[in-house]
Structure 1
Amino acid sequence: MRRLAILVVSFFLLTLSVAAQAGASVTEEVKKTVDHVVQIVSDESMKQPQKEPQRRAQLKKAIGAIFDYGEMAQRSLGRHWKDRTPAERKEFVSLFETLLENSYSGKIESYHNEKIEYLKETVEGDYAEVRSKVITPKRDEYTLDYRLLKKGGKWMVYDVIIEGVSLVSNYRGQFGRIIANQGYPALVKKLRTKSNEIKAL
Structure 2
Amino acid sequence: MKWLILPILLLTFAASVPAYAQPTPTETVKKTVDEVVRIVSDKELKKPQNEKKRRDSLKKAIGAIFDYTQMSERSMARHWRDLSPAQKKDFVGLFETLLENSYAGKIESYNQEKILYQKEIIDGQYAEVRSKVVTPKRDQYSLDYRLINEGGQWKVYDVVIEGVSLVSNYRTQFNRIITDQGYNELVKKLRTKSQEIKGA
Give the TM-score normalised by the residue count of structure 1: 0.91
Is the CA contact 2:102–2:198 (under 8 Å) kept in the aligned structure 1?
no
Alpha-carbon displacement from aligned partner over 1:84-105 (angstroms, at most 9, x marks no partner): 1111111111110001111132
Q: How does 1:37-76 map to 2 (within 5 A)?
A: 37-76=36-75
Is the CA contact 2:117–2:130 (under 8 Å) kept in the aligned structure 1?
yes
Partner of 1:77: 76
Alpha-carbon displacement from aligned partner over 1:39-77 (angstroms, at most 9, x marks no partner): 111111211111111100100111112211001000000
Partner of 1:138: 137
1:13 offset after TM fit, Å?
1.5
SS state of the match for residue 92, structure 2? Answer: helix
Choose 7-16 or 160-169, whichever is displaced more.
7-16
Report which structure shows greater RCO (CA 8 Å, sep ≥6).
1
Alpha-carbon displacement from aligned partner over 1:108-149 (angstroms, at most 9, x marks no partner): 001011110000000011000000000001000011000000
SS state of the match for residue 139, structure 1? Answer: coil
**Distance change in 2, residues 1:21/1:56 (3 Å):** farther
Choose 73-82 or 45-54, whichever is displaced more.
45-54
1:29 offset after TM fit, Å?
2.2
Partner of 2:26: 27
CA distance in structure 2 between the aligned counterparts of 1:7 and 1:82, rounded to whole angstroms:
30
**Distance change in 2, residues 1:92/1:140 (3 Å):** same
CA distance in structure 1 between the aligned counterparts of 2:22 and 2:178, rounded to whole angstroms:
44
**Aligned partner letter, 1:73:** S
* Correspondence 1:186 to 2:185: yes
CA distance in structure 1 between the aligned counterparts of 2:70 and 2:40, rounded to whole angstroms:
27
Alpha-carbon displacement from aligned partner over 1:9-57 (angstroms, at most 9, x marks no partner): 11221339xxx97153221221111111111111112111111111001
Q: Which runs of 5+ in 2 are unaligned?
A: 13-18
CA distance in structure 1 between the aligned counterparts of 2:182 and 2:96, rounded to whole angstroms:
21
Choose 60-69 or 75-84, whichever is displaced more.
60-69
Is the CA contact 2:5–2:109 (under 8 Å) kept in the aligned structure 1?
yes
**Aligned partner letter, 1:123:** I
Aligned-residue sequence identity (percent) comes to: 65
SS state of the match for residue 102, structure 1? Answer: helix
Q: Which runs of 5+ in 1 are unaligned?
A: none
Is the CA contact 2:8–2:37 (under 8 Å) kept in the aligned structure 1?
no
* Correspondence 1:15 to 2:11: yes
CA distance in structure 1 between the aligned counterparts of 2:198 and 2:164, rounded to whole angstroms:
28
SS state of the match for residue 74, structure 2? Answer: helix
**Distance change in 2, residues 1:21/1:68 (3 Å):** farther
